[in-house]
Structure 1
Amino acid sequence: MKTIKFLFGALLFVTLSAFTWNNFNAGYKVGDVATDFSLKNVDNKKVSLNDYKDAKGFIVVFTCNHCPYAIAYEDRIIALDKKYKALGYPVIAINPNNPAVQPKDSFDLMKERAKEKGFTFPYLFDEGQKIYPQYGATKTPHVYLLQKTKEGNIVKYIGAIDDNSNDETAVKTKYVENAVNSLLEGKEIEVKTTKAIGCSIKA
């Protein structure tokens, strides 16, 4: 009898673990339709993708205050927004971290960082951490390039900004720029997914 209970318990544990693992790793794939969101910006106003009536798409970047990788990419994210916002692809930055786990990613410190760096884009707080799991983001930074269509905002690229997180001057391939340029030119994106390099999201 004890053996049966043990086996049942072990089976239940494995089943639940698999369920949890699959849910944790669930997220958008290239070609999926990304649902809209309404998140608080550092100016205390709510922002959603639907606010951007004239946008052709969005460069959604999950990033944060404290991560060295995120910090290293801040100027590059600002440059992406300045280059592509006028062409219809603005940056939408989202902080997915739980400030109870990482206090440096609090909403008040987000405001300070945005002002200090002169962010030209919304810097939104994923309060309750409801949005990043939908996307399947695991790192900061982690990029999701969306294209606006009649069917909704279609995921066209997922991954890293470029191929060198340490040294911008040594970058050889600019994944996000190449992907956006392809969309603007009506061409197929050659590299649709890459591995995001950064800090793990603090849940």
Structure 2
Amino acid sequence: MKTFKILGALILLISMASFVGNTFAEKGYAIGDTAADFSLKNIDGKMVSLSDYSDAKGFLVIFTCNTCPYAVAYEDRIIELDAKYKSKGVPVIAINPNNPSAKPGDSFEKMKARAKEKGFTFPYLLDEGQKVYPQYGATRTPHVYLLEKTADGNVVKYIGAIDDNYQDASKVDETYVEDAVDAMLAGKEIKVTSTKAIGCTIKV
């Protein structure tokens, strides 16, 4: 009888753990969801929202930071994405999701310095209070969300990594983000809509 009680308790615990795990996994946006707008402070001190871009066809919302080696490795490629697609109506909107208290290198002042050093051509926003990244479900830096601007709002079309080789841009085989944006702009089906974001965990 005692054995059955123990087994029953174990089954209950496993079920609860599974429920919690599934609930966590379901947080954030999925493909096809409509992303809410936000208002975050840019490195120039001005507030930026997606609604500011009246002529945009979509957005590359990229959660990134100063301190993660993966994010740093992708900085030049993020600049290139903005250069390639901003003129086509799909600008990069970079957001630093890290808590500066936990990661001083990701402070607002350090963000301004890094953007100037690298010559960022896009907004670099601080997720002050860490309110936006949980809405998206971002877990890594970098973590990309391609949004398509529609009459019903900004629809999530792709989530994940920029490409398949963070170490060497010259050895990339799969350009996930470029393929997704090109397909979206052409009105075609995006073949790969989700990949695993490779990077550092967001610091809380």
Shift of residue 184 of structure 1?
1.1
Cα distance in 1 between the residues matched to 2:128 and 2:18: 26
Q: Report SS of the residue matched to 2:179.
A: helix
Matches for 1:1-203 after TM superposition, within 5 Å: 18-19=19-20, 22-23=23-24, 26-203=27-204
Give the letter aligned to residue 89 of structure 1.
V
Which stretches of structure 1, 4 residues or longer, exceed 3 Å deviation after superposition?
14-21
Cα distance in 2 between the residues matched to 1:22 and 1:40: 30
Q: Report SS of the residue matched to 2:83.
A: helix
Shift of residue 22 of structure 1?
2.2
Cα distance in 1 between the residues matched to 2:107 and 2:72: 15
Q: Report SS of the residue matched to 2:30.
A: coil
Shift of residue 173 of structure 1?
1.0
Number of aligned positions between the proteins? 197
Cα distance in 2 between the residues matched to 1:101 and 1:15: 31
Which structure 2 residue ranges, 5 or more long, are not aligned?
1-7
8 Å CA contact 1:142–1:159 kept in 2: the answer is yes
Query: What percentage of aligned pairs have identical amino acids?
Result: 67
Cα distance in 2 between the residues matched to 1:193 and 1:157: 6
8 Å CA contact 1:24–1:133 kept in 2: the answer is no
Which structure 1 residue ranges, 5 or more long, are not aligned?
1-6
Shift of residue 43 of structure 1?
0.3
The CA RMSD measured in Å over matched residues stands at 2.1
Q: Report SS of the residue matched to 1:143.
A: strand
